[in-house]
Structure formats: C-alpha cells, structure tokens
Amino acid sequence: MTTPRTYPWASQFGGHPFTFRLLKVEDKELFKKFIRSLPDSDNYYLLLDVHKDSAIDAWMHGIETGRTISVIALDGAEMAGYCNIHLSELPWTRHVGEIRLSVAGKYRGQGLGHTLAREVFMIAKAHGLEKIWVRMPSSQKGGQKVFQTLGFHAEALLADFVKDSSGHTQDLVMMSHDVTGFVN
C-alpha cells in the first residue's frame, strides 16, 4: 500500500494528544464500537448498514483488499474518527476515489476531521488519483461546510434522490476536489 507518510504519528488538538494510523483488519472490534456509537443520523446515508455484522465484515474486506484505505484518529485506545478513500477497480473510474469522513461528536470542531481528510488527500495523490468526491443529503449542511473548507465544490444536485429516516425525500449533493492541485 502506498502512503506518503510513516504511520503511526501523533499530534495535539485542543491540547489533547491523538495518534493517527491506518485502520487494519485486526481493528474490526475497535471500528465496530466506534461506528455503532455514532448517532444514527451520522450513519444513515452510508452504503452499508453498520448495525449488521456482515456490513462490518464487508468494510474490513475492503481494508484487507486495499480497495479501501482508512486513516483513523485515536484518543488513547478510543477511536475518535476516521477518513476513508474508496478506490475503484473499473478502468473508467480508476482515477477517482470516494471519500467518507466521520468524527465523534465530542471531538468535532478541533480540526481532527480536517487533519484526517488531509491524510487521505495525500494517500489519494500517492495512488495517482486525480479527483475525489463525496456525497451527502442536502440537509447535512455542516458536512457540506466542512468539505467546502477543504476545497470541495458542488458538482451535482440530484433532486429528491434519497429518503431520510422519516421517509421524506431529500436532494443528494455530490461534491468533488481536484487532487492534482493539492499541495502536501
């Protein structure tokens, strides 16, 4: 696996130390505990139902095969957040990766999400990706704002494309970032 940095490494956010490293298959229980501790609204629009063990297994299979590369932030032994890049095997989308980012509520607003995303940008660039993208419902204004501060811009808005947990339709926002212009 190509990474531009040696892991693990440490930094401080809000006066608190965090360790950053790559997610491993052996971290399955750690990851499961973290992802299932998030509010349902944080996980509702994921492509897998993380409350099913088979979904966690599928996520770990992506890590094992290298199709998903994930950087995690740890507060001691507790996972504070992750950022994934999903790589495509298809010839026509091999230059594009999809990013997913989540930080536990108590760690938000400290720059942790920005740092995780920056790590994934460097990994994406090292893998020769040219563009990364993210998708989310239009109601996730905070998420859109985070990605805008990272240099993402809206590429598409698909009207009434997803349904929330109440069954109401929402627009789906697709945002992208040109990795080739990213400077480490």
Q: Map the chain to HEC letters.
A: CCCCCCCCEEEEECCEEEEEEECCHHHHHHHHHHHHHCCHHHHCCCCCCCCCHHHHHHHHHHHHHCCEEEEEEEECCEEEEEEEEEECCCHHHCCEEEEEEEECHHHCCCCHHHHHHHHHHHHHHHCCCCEEEEEEECCCHHHHHHHHHCCCEEEEEEEEEEECCCCCEEEEEEEEEEHHHCCC
**Position 170 in a domain:** no
In a domain, 145, yes or no: no
The residue segments making up the domain with residue 81 are 9-136
Per-residue pLDDT of the chain (184 residues; tens, 9 = 90+): 566 788 999 998 888 899 999 999 999 999 999 988 887 777 666 667 778 899 889 989 999 999 999 999 999 999 999 999 999 888 898 899 999 988 998 998 888 988 998 899 889 988 889 999 999 888 888 888 888 888 899 999 999 998 877 888 989 899 999 987 766 5
CATH number for the domain that contains residue 91: 3.40.630.30
Question: Do the domain assignments include residue 163?
Answer: no
Q: Would you say residue 103 lies in a domain?
A: yes
Q: What is the number of domains present in the chain?
A: 1
